Structure 1
Amino acid sequence: MSVAIPLRFLTALAAAFLIAAPAAAQKFEPQVGQAGKDVIWVPTPDDIVDRMLTMAQVTANDFVVDLGSGDGKIAIAAAQKFGARALGIEYNPDMVKLSQANAQAAGVAGKATFRHADIFATDFTQATVITMYLLPGLNMKLRPQILAMRPGTRVASHSFSMEDWEADETSTLDGRRAYFWVVPANVSGGWTLEVGAQRIELSFDQTFQKINGTVTLGPLQAGLREAKLRGFNISFAFVDSAQVRREFTGRVIGAKMEGSWRGDGGTEGRWSATKK
């Protein structure tokens, strides 16, 4: 038995198919392991995303930049759970569109935005927090730019370190690692310390966030004790010629430092230092 189908119905059906087919073809579904510009795409697990943002102590006052943002989950989590403003930088335009749709679905499209760009050709120096899941070689290529950022900038990386720049914290969860650093101020070299009417010469040696140094006390060069640098915060101590231990804490502001000191017996005061 045959059934006669009107020609106009067949024409309409064909037109509908032609309209629907491109739409279906345009639907983008990312595949784990798909090739990108410099890496293959593997999403960061949700629990590692949470730890990365937690170890960076992200708050609503932060601007988080995710380098190589993929499907956008880190930037979206920063906005949704931590209230931060976030930007994802991603080279694949399809992933950018997917991220924007994901942010819209999560209700944070106004706080988590995405840019189609090359991370090596984009200025991200306004970030207070950097996140990334890249390969070791890419981390090392980015390292000089990250170290030149504002002291105190926090950096979190999934899986891969930055070689001899030792992490300030390493967290492990189900065999996966997250690394955390704070960008240190540059204090290497000579400084003139002023404590009241006294002018004392200091010198620091620095390897990333690790510092040691000396203080000149007349003909003597004494070692600094417990010298520590975290971002722009610095502390150190020394025993002066009167056998008084003085402990200094303060902030590094470019070529200047300032803070407070406390000595044995409860003496205390303010101090400043200028780089030579």
Structure 2
Amino acid sequence: MIHTIQRTACALAFGLSLVASSQVSAQLYTEDQRPSACHKKFDDTGPGRDVIYVPTRLQTVERMLDFAALKPGEVLVDLGSGDGRIVLAAARRGANARGIELDEGRFKIAQCWAEETGAGAKARFLQANIFEHDFTDAQIVTMYLLPGLNLKLRPQVLDMRPGTRVVSHAFTMGDWEADRTESVAGSNQTIYLWIVPAKVAGTWTVTPKGSAPMQVTMTQQYQKFEGSARMGERTGKVAKGTLRGDQISFTLVEDGGASREFSGRVNGDRIEGSNGWTATRAAASASR
């Protein structure tokens, strides 16, 4: 059994939220509501379960979706989806949402709740191991998992499409610094946002507009990178290298002190600069 922190439910609010706007829906949720009929039908509190079972405030669920800037039609996958509350909230906002849950009881609760709230057309639940399920189609990944599981998932997440947004409730990704962090108002809960960066490690031929090409070698640590450059007989370094999805920016500082700013968009082994510069990576140097 995967040791996850799962979402528990106090579910009457979802029936109300289906007819409320997303802007005010969080105000309709309370923390002392009785379990829904689905929770009573598929009791998931029995003995022998080896998961830590902690409720996520529904206000936090809504804030996680706000934090991810979820848009209608986007694909959201919730890893360790518990009773399905994040998936159902996302579906209610027009997303194509999918929940992956190993525990049979919570999986059944989520399916029942989707039918109960009428969100089934946009919400789908799978009883599966999160480490065996392919979620690379997601534009947004949400999770409330223990730190060790976050770290185990990190390589898979980093291999996702650049620009994928990842939101975690309460726990970090180790030394992968979050792009944004927020304390949820009125609570002691923290949510974290990462934007999967493009992979830029390797040796690039950078051609500034109207100038001779230069060789730039980059080393990358998550959304930050640095490197060295050679421009004929001159040398320099790459400084302030940052990535936000496929958006790249850095400063090239020559050893003599002159500097130039670069920004653009990474597309595999090519970069299209915002002011006409381009770069191509040597295939053999690309680093995963």
Calculate the TM-score normalised by the size of structure 1: 0.80
CA contact (8 A) 2:168 2:191 kept: yes
Deviation at 1:213, TM superposition (A): 2.4
Find the structure with the greater CA-based Rg.
Answer: 1
| 1:38-65 Cα deviation digits (max 9, x unpaired) | x323232112112211111111131000
Q: What SS is found at the alignment partner of 2:172?
A: coil
Amino acid of the structure 2 residue aligned with 1:50: E
Deviating more after overlay: 190-199 vs 154-163: 190-199
The aligned residue for residue 46 of structure 1 is: 58
Deviates more, 1:217-226 or 1:82-91: 217-226
Separation in 2 of the partners of 1:209 and 1:47? Answer: 29
Instruction: Check whether the contact 1:217–1:241 (CA below 8 A) recurs between aligned residues.
Output: no
Do the aligned partners of 1:32 and 1:42 also contact (CA within 8 Å) in 2?
Answer: no
Corresponding position: 1:181 with 2:194: yes
1:257 aligns with 271
Ranges in structure 1 where 5+ consecutive residues have no aligned partner: 1-25, 262-269
> Quick one: which amino acid aligns to residue 128 of structure 2?
A
SS at match of 1:50: helix
**1:247 aligns to what?**
261
Aligned to 1:10: none
SS at match of 2:131: helix
Q: Deviations over 1:95-120 (max 9, x none)?
A: 22211221222221100110011111
- Please name the residue that 1:102 is paired with: 113
Aligned residue in 2 for 1:144? 155
Matching residue of 1:70: 82
Q: Give per-residue Cα distances to partners, 1:46-101, cap 9 Å, x unaligned.
A: 12112211111111131000001000000111111x32110000112222221122
Aligned residues: 240
C-alpha RMSD of matched pairs (Å): 2.3
Unaligned runs of 5+ in 2: 1-39, 283-288
CA distance in 1, matches of 2:82, 2:128: 12
Whether 2:188 is the aligned partner of 1:164: answer no
Q: Shift of the alpha carbon at 1:131?
A: 0.5
Matching residue of 1:266: none
1:34 Cα offset (Å): 7.8
Question: Which residue of 196, 206, 210 maps to 1:193?
Answer: 206
Q: Secondary structure at the match of 1:44?
A: coil
1 or 2, which has the higher strand percentage? Answer: 1
Give 2:72's aligned residue. 60
Q: TM-score, normalised by structure 2?
A: 0.77
- Further displaced range: 194-203 or 161-170: 194-203
Per the TM alignment, residue 235 of structure 1 is displaced from its structure 2 partner at its CA by 1.2
Taking the aligned partners of 2:94 and 2:47, their CA distance within structure 1 comes to 30
SS of the counterpart of 1:119? coil
